[in-house]
């Protein structure tokens, strides 16, 4: 019965989180200027080079491949511009309405598209940045799990029950961290140099605490 009660709550959490992510994307695409978005990507590229050194180029190449494969090769980028913006032939055949194609409205739409696709590309760069620290994160998680196993054995040998509060806090912490990273992928502010490493270290520590008090 408790599991049945938790299932709708979990689904509602996922739906709410996805809706908030869509709202975030709409706000970013609607309010952030193209110049600001370009400055964020340039500043973050410098932070990645400080954090990763030569591996930063690998991150950028991987993210570029993902973006081109998912959005450029499939025609989504070109289709969005073709659907929302008139091309030269359409402006020429507008019969007196040609200046509308050069007006501020279409300039605004063009800027929104540039920001939206640019932030999606930045999100993929951030995801690849996290993956670049994957081997070290795996070692940290393995160490945290080994430490959690030792603590569990000591606790069981002393007949000490697991602390449900710590287990719940660790589970909630992992959930908040996961949603925070997902929202953070699309934030229109540059990530600091060590942010990816800090996120993965927190995930390893919370995983260890979750296992130790299971």
pLDDT tens track for 133-171? 888 888 888 888 888 778 777 776 765 666 778 888 888
In a domain, 147, yes or no: yes
Q: What is the pTM of this model?
A: 0.83
The pLDDT tens digits of the residues spanning 88-122 come to 555 555 555 455 556 677 788 889 999 999 999 99
For residue 69, the model assigns a pLDDT of 95
Neighbours of 136 (CB within 10 A): 13
In a domain, 138, yes or no: yes
Range of the domain at 204: 133-214
How many domains are there within the chain?
Answer: 1
In a domain, 212, yes or no: yes
In a domain, 192, yes or no: yes
In a domain, 27, yes or no: no
């Amino acid at each position: 019965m408790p599991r049945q009660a938790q299932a709708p709550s979990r689904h509602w959490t996922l739906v709410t989180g996805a809706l908030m992510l869509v709202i975030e994307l709409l706000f970013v695409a609607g309010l952030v200027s193209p110049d600001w978005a370009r400055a964020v990507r340039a500043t973050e590229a410098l932070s990645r080079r400080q954090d990763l050194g030569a591996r930063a180029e690998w991150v950028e190449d991987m993210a570029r491949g993902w973006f081109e494969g998912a959005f450029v090769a499939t025609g989504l980028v070109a289709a969005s511009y073709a659907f929302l913006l008139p091309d030269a032939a359409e402006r020429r055949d507008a019969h007196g309405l040609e200046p509308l194609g050069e007006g501020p409205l279409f300039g605004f739409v063009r800027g929104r598209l540039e920001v939206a696709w640019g932030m999606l590309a930045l999100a993929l760069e951030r995801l690849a940045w996290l993956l670049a620290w994957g081997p070290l994160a795996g070692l940290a998680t393995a160490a945290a799990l080994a430490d959690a196993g030792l603590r569990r054995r000591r606790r069981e040998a002393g007949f000490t029950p697991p602390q449900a509060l710590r287990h719940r806090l660790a589970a909630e912490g992992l959930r908040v961290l996961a949603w925070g990273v997902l929202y953070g992928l699309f934030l229109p502010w540059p990530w600091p140099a060590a942010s990816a490493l800090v996120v993965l270290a927190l995930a390893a520590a919370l995983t260890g605490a979750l296992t130790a008090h299971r």
